[in-house]
Amino acid sequence: MDQRLVAVVDYGMGNLRSVSKAAEHMADAQTRVIVTQDPQVIHNADAVIFPGQGAARACMQALENTGMIEPIKRAAQEKPFLGICMGLQVLMSHSDENGGVDCLNIIPGKVTQFDLSSYPELKMPHMGWNQIHQTQDHPLWHAIPQDSRFYYVHSYYVVPENPSTLFGETTHGQTFPAVLSTHNLFAIQAHPEKSAEHGLQLFKNFLSWNGH
């Protein structure tokens, strides 16, 4: 049987070691997980994991500097694709962060900051464990119970134009979109690599997913 290659995109701004180790831990003998900065490896991969952390402008600049924008756009349309944290936010059209940043425009919509003015007891960033309420069935939810807890670190959240792309939501004062999916793409605001058994199950589900 041919080996399945899963590329973890390295553009200098992801939590790469913990993401790749979590994916490797859940991979079967036919699956190879590789961290790469090579656009050709991403092009040749059977599936792509796109992690990210930090700020939107620096993230987009790093993608441009490493020549990753076109490979990411192509992969997000053609093969099983998992975006994590900033790897979700920069898939949107535009972010309000850093005074406004144009993003990859793969999922129409915007990224905006929490308004916690009505919730003085809550802190920014939204950090720690919180529940994800699954709003639609998806293969990546397999064996993950409804309202399972995942680990978050973020001050901005996504607002998709198309409600049908919403597959999970979380409440931090306000209820916000936590998971978006379109066709072969699944992107999550939380950090599955820091989310214990449910996060590992998400990686396992992704590694066996054909994108349909």
* Active site members: 85, 191, 193
Residue 207: φ, ψ to 5°: -65, -20
Sign of CA dihedral 161, 139, 192, 7: negative
Q: Which amino acid is at 108?
A: P
Q: Do 176 and 170 contact (CB within 8 A), yes or no?
A: yes
